[in-house]
Structure 1
């Protein structure tokens, strides 16, 4: 429903909501440069480090769609308030953690809070802005999310190196509290209380079955290697497909009863959609790059958190420039844009692996290193927006919102699985007492795994575009 707020007030309200869009990706990426420091302070295992990242991403992914539905049902202002308050409190819990378990639980709860907070900004664009202003609002929303991912590495390194009040890594979580307090005091009164036009009841059992399926997959992948693959880890992996099957069957039954399922069975059967979403699941494992490269730079080479953050800057520059060139590149490459962007990332992965192989335990030559990391960022800047847009465009107008939510969730699930699987490969190859040579070998293997996954994602992207093109050709001929 369209609000009648003045231009100044609606842009002010949107600025507040953008904080809710900025903080979740910032806190996903910023923790990477702090991992060696966290490990030294809390004596965390490699598996626990992975859960610090994947626990947040998994909780965020599973409940992201639910967070949007809650805003439709109970009002986006109220759910945003609950989400950002919870995000502030759980950030404090993470910052004051005295054990790995406390930090992991805090991160999972932080992901849940982010899932309530983040969707309200995107969902409010239609209600806040007239049609002629929505493109600008969408651009700013995308820029905020992209900037968070780009700035996180350097900001995290700077905050830890500054050692404010001798808080070390804890400052990256505690810094959220003054931001949250400022939003609650000055920003919340600006937010209108808007809801969906026809909000559907929440698919509670679907949410729980989805969370169960994801948990049965991620927990054993992270913990199994560290604990020597005990029986319960194997049992969880065996139970995962069964839980997934139950989830899918329940969604179909729920839809037949007239409910609105978490995942629409009819929509995901549309030509090209399943191939595109499968490509997304292989694509965003690139998030594991930030984990393994951060650990390598600090543990094998001995860089400070600040210097580590600066090494990632070419990725940010590439990720910023890439989307600016996509309109021209799309006119040249068309539907192949996502695949070409991913192949550029593959080239960056291979180049980085070659550089590390040539100088194990040492900083590679600056020029080639900037080229490798920059290629990863530039390819990401080409692939991510065009891949997401291509998937959403394949859905009918009435289902675009659900598909957008499913796509965002798939990206977060991919990030969680990437950290679990490729992080597990990295720590396995590095060994229990890693030296510079073994960590270099582990990074090379991890980068090649990321490159292979991106190659698979590129293939699925091409399959999806061809499937859609065949359907369009058949419709045009009838």
Structure 2
């Protein structure tokens, strides 16, 4: 088993609490901006393309740099990377808060995404590095609960700040509030953090970094922008180029590892038993990513619910997503490795129940509150159970020395999943909808899309069961000239 020299540090929970801020802020700023978009559009008179760019610039830069952000923590220290990312995120938030034009705001959002990708993976990476095995389940549960809290806080806090109009700042307050928060975290966090990193830390693989960013951009940018742009030729060309770029990236990384270098992504990591299936489950888990967009469209376009009320409808989901991770240690003790497919199974039950409720509700009639709240709570609770157990399935298969690398890979996979979900399942929704935009057509298209999400989750749950039946903690089936970074490899952690 890997050596865990830092696991008994008495400050580990205080350290982890500080690092969790880095996991909380990125999803918070994603949800909070959705609430503020109408105010931003009115203030700037922004075009629809600029409005879309406020979202896509953040999502795109965040997704393509997560692997690099995780590796920076491995090489130079996870605390150092966290504080660097946090300060950069605060600076970017300040730029957004004082933006004088839509495109200045877009530039600030891009910088937010870039710095969030440096800060976000460090909490997940540190779980493997600082906690003993007996405490990892609770730490991962708290990590998962942060996402539920961010979802609830983003919807509610955005509306409150804009309504209060503090210092006549309006929507700008949702960005500027990050500045005092960052200062407080730095003041209290710097004395607490004990640095962890890979013992054989060397210089960053700059060529691998560039290739990874180009590869992920070739995949993610057309998925984010393609549908709204009418799927132009460049989007298809970019998607076709992505596999070739991925092959070139992995080939370069393999050769660098054989030469004894320090690759951004050591391909030996991906050969850890069961890791491929775990990452595929991650890719399927966030097929639910398009649910929020499509359900908002259904609520506002088919039921004519106002935006604030539409945001409040999601609260049962957020509560479930908050409570689910806190229940994960219990389900892990009872179900063991089957906790993840159990959580995904709950999501399927909630999704199918919601689709059935929409299908049987007469056109123009509001959804029954109690069944709706129960279905949304089950979806959120299931997601809250599935996410931390999945993260343990992924990070528990490699040595702590590369936990930042694998945290970046896992987080990037979830972002890719969200983009694929919006592009593919969102595309199915609009294809079924066609030229009709009446409530009946919208409801029918929404139901079809929900069944597509349920199918993806069912495949993921099936893979989770197969992985539970063969945990795959054996040594690699054959030796490779690159390092053995599997969970049984000797730890290089200090």
TM-score interval, normalised by the smaller of the two chains: 0.7 to 0.9
- Equivalences for residues 392-407 of structure 1 within 5 A: 392-396=395-399, 399-400=402-403, 402-407=405-410
Find the counterpart in structure 1 of residue 422 from structure 2.
419
Residue among 257, 272, 291 paired with 1:255? 257
Q: 2:212 matched to 1:210? A: yes
Find the counterpart in structure 1 of residue 454 from structure 2.
451
Residue among 236, 239, 242 paired with 1:240? 242
CA contact (8 A) 2:126 2:403 kept: no
Q: By how many angstroms is 1:99 displaced?
A: 5.7
1:203-223 CA-to-partner distances (Å, cap 9, x unmatched) read: 222222222122212222333
Q: 2:270 matched to 1:271? A: no
Residue among 340, 344, 347 paired with 1:345? 347
1:201-258 CA-to-partner distances (Å, cap 9, x unmatched) read: 3222222222212221222233333333322222212212211221121121121111
CA contact (8 A) 2:364 2:439 kept: yes
Q: Secondary structure at the match of 2:262?
A: coil
Q: By how many angstroms is 1:280 displaced?
A: 0.6
Q: By how many angstroms is 1:347 displaced?
A: 2.2
CA contact (8 A) 2:64 2:217 kept: no
In the alignment, the residues of structure 2 paired with residue 380 and residue 395 of structure 1 have an alpha-carbon distance, to the nearest angstrom, of 24
Find the counterpart in structure 2 of residue 194 from structure 1.
195
Higher helix share: 1
CA contact (8 A) 1:60 1:111 kept: yes
1:166-224 CA-to-partner distances (Å, cap 9, x unmatched) read: 6554433232233224445x336535573523323322222222221222122223333
CA contact (8 A) 1:94 1:102 kept: yes
Q: By how many angstroms is 1:278 displaced?
A: 1.0
In the alignment, the residues of structure 1 paired with residue 229 and residue 454 of structure 2 have an alpha-carbon distance, to the nearest angstrom, of 28
Q: By how many angstroms is 1:35 displaced?
A: 4.5
Change (3 A) 1:152 1:331: same
Change (3 A) 1:292 1:168: farther
Q: 2:371 matched to 1:375? A: no
Q: 2:181 matched to 1:179? A: yes
Q: 2:463 matched to 1:460? A: yes
Q: By how many angstroms is 1:87 displaced?
A: 0.9
Find the counterpart in structure 2 of residue 227 from structure 1.
229
The worse-fitting range, judged by mean Cα deviation, of 327-336 and 110-119 is 327-336
Q: Secondary structure at the match of 1:190?
A: coil
In the alignment, the residues of structure 2 paired with residue 400 and residue 207 of structure 1 have an alpha-carbon distance, to the nearest angstrom, of 17
Q: 2:48 matched to 1:18? A: no
In the alignment, the residues of structure 2 paired with residue 92 and residue 361 of structure 1 have an alpha-carbon distance, to the nearest angstrom, of 43
Q: Secondary structure at the match of 2:471?
A: helix
Change (3 A) 1:209 1:470: closer
The worse-fitting range, judged by mean Cα deviation, of 70-79 and 107-116 is 70-79
In the alignment, the residues of structure 2 paired with residue 252 and residue 2 of structure 1 have an alpha-carbon distance, to the nearest angstrom, of 30
Q: Comparing both chains, which one has the higher relative contact order based on Cα–Cα distances under 8 Å and sequence gaps of 6 or more? A: 2
Query: Aligned residue pairs: how many?
Result: 471
CA contact (8 A) 2:71 2:408 kept: no
In the alignment, the residues of structure 2 paired with residue 381 and residue 126 of structure 1 have an alpha-carbon distance, to the nearest angstrom, of 20
Find the counterpart in structure 1 of residue 108 from structure 2.
106
In the alignment, the residues of structure 2 paired with residue 114 and residue 187 of structure 1 have an alpha-carbon distance, to the nearest angstrom, of 20
1:92-138 CA-to-partner distances (Å, cap 9, x unmatched) read: 33345566544443322211111222344455678888999888766
Find the counterpart in structure 1 of residue 489 from structure 2.
none
Change (3 A) 1:194 1:96: same
Q: Secondary structure at the match of 1:259?
A: coil
In the alignment, the residues of structure 2 paired with residue 169 and residue 33 of structure 1 have an alpha-carbon distance, to the nearest angstrom, of 9
Residue among 310, 322, 325 paired with 1:323? 325
Change (3 A) 1:347 1:37: farther
Q: Secondary structure at the match of 1:225?
A: coil
1:355-390 CA-to-partner distances (Å, cap 9, x unmatched) read: 333244553110111121111111112211222212
The worse-fitting range, judged by mean Cα deviation, of 406-415 and 353-362 is 353-362
CA contact (8 A) 1:281 1:413 kept: yes
In the alignment, the residues of structure 1 paired with residue 295 and residue 440 of structure 2 have an alpha-carbon distance, to the nearest angstrom, of 14
The worse-fitting range, judged by mean Cα deviation, of 455-464 and 110-119 is 455-464
In the alignment, the residues of structure 2 paired with residue 414 and residue 287 of structure 1 have an alpha-carbon distance, to the nearest angstrom, of 8
CA contact (8 A) 1:50 1:423 kept: no
Find the counterpart in structure 1 of residue 411 from structure 2.
408
Residue among 59, 74, 81 paired with 1:57? 59
Change (3 A) 1:398 1:78: closer
Find the counterpart in structure 1 of residue 338 from structure 2.
336
Find the counterpart in structure 2 of residue 147 from structure 1.
149
The worse-fitting range, judged by mean Cα deviation, of 347-356 and 378-387 is 347-356
In the alignment, the residues of structure 2 paired with residue 459 and residue 125 of structure 1 have an alpha-carbon distance, to the nearest angstrom, of 27
Q: Secondary structure at the match of 1:292?
A: helix
TM-score (norm 1): 0.82
Alignment gaps of 5+ in structure 2: 478-494
Q: By how many angstroms is 1:50 displaced?
A: 5.7
